[in-house]
């Protein structure tokens, strides 16, 4: 296992490097840049464009430099070990004893995610402001999904073709077929027309910009159940089908019959052997869970007007805010790689049949 972890950690370096290059290239692939979008917005509103201001901003954000140089500076800022840069964004040069100028030697530094063009603020501050709420919604949704899907999936498999199995199957198919954003619109319409209240947002108007307190936390809990149900519906429905199908595959196997013949109690037999194996697909999706906890459901967050990370990423991509969008993509990619490693380790622990060694290949 330790050899596996070490090998995977080493492979993370080239993997993240390739992801950073592709992500930065895709962000800049549309024609123009952030200033192009900014100028277009000013012209549509009828305001005049100051060419000198535009050129100064272009030099300030290094948008007048070639792609390779922009990417090298961004990657240099993301790493723990790199070259120092001055206030103007250029690399610092030093003169040696022979009078020759060269780059300063690389140093250990804290990663710098850059500065957002649109918000004119550090990217780390923008993400940090929304990260806590995003993680709260995602973690509660994950617990809600697993708490419902696993027991229902077990019941549907054990009571196959019963009325309860049919009822849960119908509800599961409806949950899979209904888009999350459509369910969010239904909640907003019913809340406004029937109950006279808004189902959007995470806080009441009086707490939206207030400091954190017990009253604001209670208000968050009062609004939290709507996005949790909306986001968790399709995931719960899909997980029920996966759990039911995997458990049905395990129940007829020989090891289950042998344990039953030895007199193992039904519930102990069910939970100790076939359920443990049937949980493998849930464990293998940890690689998707970690980035999902940070990003959340983007479309649902936009529809419900939630101040989470997802809409911030979408807006950065639309406006070609390359430092904000690129940094967020790299964070999600890093969490995906780490989550995949964690899921592999958990699979080794929970299922002794899985072995990642030379003989297993």
Alpha-carbon distances of 157 from 198, 235, 264, 267, 318, rounded to whole Å: 39, 18, 19, 14, 45
Contacts of 49 (CB under 8 A, 6+ apart): 39, 42, 43
Q: What's the whole-number mean pLDDT along residues 22-39?
A: 81
Alpha-carbon distances of 61 from 28, 54, 114, 304, 322, rounded to whole Å: 14, 11, 10, 33, 10
Burial class (CB in 10 A: 0-12, 13-18, 19+), 44: exposed
Q: What per-residue confidence (pLDDT) applies to 37?
A: 77
Q: How far is CA 35 from the centre of its chain?
A: 28
Q: How confident is the model at residue 360 (pLDDT cuts 50, 70, 90)?
A: very low
Q: What's the whole-number mean pLDDT along residues 74-85?
A: 78
Write out pLDDT tens, residues 281-303: 778 777 777 787 676 678 888 88
Looking up tokens 């070259």, which residue turns up?
Answer: 83
Q: What per-residue confidence (pLDDT) applies to 85?
A: 67
Token pair belonging to 258: 């042998």
Under 8 Å between Cβ of 148 and 282: no
SS3 101: strand
Q: How confident is the model at residue 166 (pLDDT cuts 50, 70, 90)?
A: very high
Q: How confident is the model at residue 154 (pLDDT cuts 50, 70, 90)?
A: very high
* H-only helix segments in 109-162: 123-158
Radius of gyration of the chain (CA): 26
pTM: 0.79
Under 8 Å between Cβ of 194 and 136: no
Write out pLDDT tens, residues 188-224: 888 878 877 777 788 888 887 788 888 888 888 888 8
d(CA 153, CA 130): 34
Q: Does the pLDDT of residue 88 top 70, yes or no?
A: no
Q: How many CB atoms lie under 10 A from the CB of residue 280?
A: 17
d(CA 38, CA 32): 10
Question: What value, to the nearest 5°, has the Cα angle with vertex 159 and ends 156 and 164?
Answer: 65
Show me where the domains of the chain are located: 124-350
d(CA 219, CA 206): 10
Q: Does the pLDDT of residue 100 top 60, yes or no?
A: no
Write out pLDDT tens, residues 229-253: 888 888 888 889 989 999 999 999 9
Q: Does the pLDDT of residue 359 top 80, yes or no?
A: no
Q: What's the mean per-residue pLDDT of the chain?
A: 82
d(CA 192, CA 337): 42
Q: What's the whole-number mean pLDDT along residues 158-171?
A: 92
Under 8 Å between Cβ of 149 and 239: yes
Under 8 Å between Cβ of 108 and 83: no
Q: How many CB atoms lie under 10 A from the CB of residue 77?
A: 19
Q: Give the CATH number of domain 124-350.
A: 1.10.3720.10
Q: Does the pLDDT of residue 86 top 70, yes or no?
A: no
Comparing 2 with 100, which gets the higher pLDDT? Answer: 2
Token pair belonging to 357: 């060694």
Q: What is the DSSP letter of 125?
A: H
Q: Does the pLDDT of residue 4 top 80, yes or no?
A: no
């Amino acid at each position: 296992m330790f050899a596996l972890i070490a090998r995977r950690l080493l492979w993370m370096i080239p993997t993240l490097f390739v992801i950073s290059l592709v992500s930065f290239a895709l962000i800049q692939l549309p024609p123009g840049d952030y200033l192009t979008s900014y100028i277009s917005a000013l012209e549509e509103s009828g305001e005049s464009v100051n060419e000198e201001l535009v050129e100064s901003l272009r030099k300030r954000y290094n948008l007048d430099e070639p792609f390779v140089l922009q990417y090298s500076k961004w990657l240099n800022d993301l790493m723990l070990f790199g070259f120092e840069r001055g206030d103007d964004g250029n690399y610092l040069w030093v003169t040696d004893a022979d009078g020759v100028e060269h780059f300063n030697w690389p140093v250990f530094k804290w990663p710098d995610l850059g500065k957002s063009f649109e918000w004119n603020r550090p990217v780390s501050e923008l993400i940090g402001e929304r990260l806590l709420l995003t993680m709260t919604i995602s973690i509660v949704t994950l617990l809600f999904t697993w708490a419902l899907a696993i027991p229902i999936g077990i019941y549907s498999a054990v009571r196959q073709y019963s009325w309860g199995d049919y009822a849960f199957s119908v509800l599961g198919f409806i949950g899979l077929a209904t888009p999350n954003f459509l369910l969010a619109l239904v909640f907003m319409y019913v809340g406004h027309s029937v109950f006279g209240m808004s189902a959007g947002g995470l806080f009441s108007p009086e707490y939206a910009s207030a400091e954190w307190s017990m009253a604001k936390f209670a208000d968050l809990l009062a609004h939290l159940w709507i996005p949790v149900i909306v986001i968790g519906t399709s995931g719960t429905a899909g997980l029920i089908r996966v759990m039911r199908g995997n458990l049905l595959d395990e129940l007829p196997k020989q090891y289950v019959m042998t344990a039953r013949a030895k007199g193992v109690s039904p519930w102990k037999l069910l939970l100790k052997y076939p359920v443990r194996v049937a949980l493998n697909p849930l464990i293998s999706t940890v690689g998707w869970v970690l980035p999902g906890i940070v990003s959340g459901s983007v479309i649902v967050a936009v529809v419900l007007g939630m101040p989470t990370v997802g809409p911030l990423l979408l807006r950065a991509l639309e406006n070609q805010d390359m430092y904000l969008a690129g940094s967020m993509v790299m964070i999600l990619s890093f969490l995906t790689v780490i989550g995949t490693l964690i899921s592999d380790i958990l699979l080794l622990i929970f299922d002794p049949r899985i072995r990642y060694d030379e003989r297993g290949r």
